[in-house]
Structure formats: C-alpha cells, structure tokens
Amino acid sequence: MTQASFAHHASRPLSIGSVQIPNAVLLAPMSGITDLPFRQLAMQFGAGLVVSEMVASKAFAVGKEEMRLRAEGQDMELHAVQLAGNRADWMAEAAQLCEGAGAGLIDINMGCPAKRVINGYSGSALMKDLDHAVRLIDAVVEAVDVPVTVKMRLGWDEGSKNAAELARRAEQAGAALITVHGRTRCQFYKGSADWRAIAPVKDALTIPLIANGDLMNVTDAPAMLEQSGADGVMVGRGAYGRPWLPGHVAHFLATGEVLDAPSGQELLDLVLDHYGRMIDYYPDPVGVRCARKHLGWYMDLLEERHQSFDPELRRSILTEGDPTEVKALIRAYFERIEEGVAA
C-alpha cells in the first residue's frame, strides 16, 4: 500500500479559522507538563499543534510570574495559549495580552476537572451554566483577531452530557475548533474515555472537532477517529515521558508505519536535552524540581523496556539538587539500565 493510499485525513493539514496546522494530531494542554521546553520537543517530533499549560486569566492579566511562564511561546512557529477563568472581563484582557505577546491561537478551558479549578467556577464547572460559558466565549472572540478554540468534556455528569449543545453554541459565538475529552467531569480520569460519545458533537458542528482521552499508543488513533467521527486527535497523558508520541501518531496516520521510540544514546541525548532546557527556562531551583516528574517518567519507560531497576540511583536522580550532578547520575543510570544491571 502506498503512502498516498494509506494516509488518513487527520495526517493532512487542518485549518483552524485563519490558521493552518500541518496535521490534526495535537498535544493537550496539561498543567505542570506542557511548559515551553516540553512543547518545543513535541513540535520537533512532528506534533501538529501544541497548547500551553492552563493559564489563569486573572492571574495572568495582573502580571503573576508563574502565569507569564506558562504562557511563554518563545521560538514557537504557532503559539497557542489556553486560558481559564469565569469572568468575561479577565478572560478578554488576558486574551488580548496573549495575542499582543505573540499568541496565534487562544484556547478556552471548559474541561479541567480539578477541584481547585471548578471551585472557582472555571474549567468543566462552566458546563453547568452554558449561558455563562457562551458569554466567556463571546468576550474572548470579540477581544482578539486570532482563532479561538474551546476544550470541554462530555458534560458535568452522566445525567448532563451537553457537549453537543455547548459546542454548537460555541461555534455560533465564533469558536474555530472544538476539542472534547470523552469523559464527564465526575468521571475525572476513571474508567475509559468513551470515544463514541463524542460523535454527536461532530454532528452538531461545521468547524473541526478534535477527540481527546486515552490515546496511549499510535495504533489507538484510527479507532479513536472512527468511533468519534472527529477530524483529529489530541494526546494527553500518553505523552508523559514520551514527547515524541503526537508526532509518531501523525506519522502512523500518514504512512501506516509505527516508528520506533527513541532508545539508547538517542534517548539519553533527548533526556539530557530536555533537562537542560528546563534548567535554563526556570529560575533556580524551580527547574530542578519541575524536571523531576519528567525524569521519573523517562526512567519508568526504561525500566519497563529493560525489566531492570536501580532504586538507589533512581532515588539519587530525583533528590539531587545540583543540575551538573543530576546529569552525571542520568548518564550512569542509562548505562546501568542498558546493561541490565539490577540493584
């Protein structure tokens, strides 16, 4: 089978309003994960679009440094920022500031299930009040010239799956793309994402729809697309320790070929590069702390792959505060694991 005959539509360029992305495989916005270094790596591996961590609109508008870092888009060809909030004025002001700082796309968070977010009547809590949710979309669309997208869940709970209605009204308000995670808020991340339950949202729209939830391997993508009817897919937790996954999904949808994940020296170089970017990006000692979860996921991958484990060396990597020493420990860890030496 030739590449041309295999290629899935999601592997082709996708228009989001006035913006075109190279493929419809997206990296999800994930708090504490999709900072600038991680997004840069995912783009290098071929993701169609990467979206910032969730940025609290009021905190960003009043100049909080943490939110400024989250909204950073240095060296990104297309910089997309996700905003969260429950007040139209703060959402509009934050969107304008992001656009002024170079954002080419604004995403509105109406899907986060975290208690600290919904307790502020933001995130997926907005799905309980569609009129207010639409007022926020109206405000952001009117405030900026760049495309505005909306990310949501199926609904608040099993008895109120209103994603199709919110998506339809979001399109009427000017949204250029909708993403739906195949769970309700009350499911949090329990059970399995219901890709088929996303299909009614597609029927309600003329703008592109992206399906999200439980895409853990490249071969999951065709079933996710078929069951949801979506135009593309979004990779979330499956990218933990695997910034290459969205790009590999796009390659699989284009060619039918499953690329090998980085290993050996290539993976070591990637881990050291990722770590160095984080140390350079964050103020000391924030970068050391923020990098630890990523290092843990990379080590999980190696340990699963080689069925080998060195608890003392792993513990040292995740507790050491000197970046130079951490890099030396990472090299030693790779050497031990690759040799299959278990403590």
Q: Which residues carry out catalysis?
A: 112
CA terminus-to-terminus distance, the chain: 47
Q: Which two tokens stand for residue 343?
A: 């403590």
Helices (H), 256-322: 264-281, 286-306, 311-319
DSSP state of 112: -
* Identity of the amino acid at 111: G
Strand partners, 151: 109, 179
φ/ψ region of 150 (left if φ > 0, alpha if ψ in -120 to 50, else beta) reads beta
Residue recorded with tokens 């796009």: 250
Helix then strand then coil, % of the chain, to nearest 5: 50, 15, 35
Residues 328 and 295 sit within 8 Å (Cβ to Cβ) = no
User: At 273, which amino acid appears?
Assistant: D
In this structure, the strands spanning 232-235 and 177-181 are unpaired
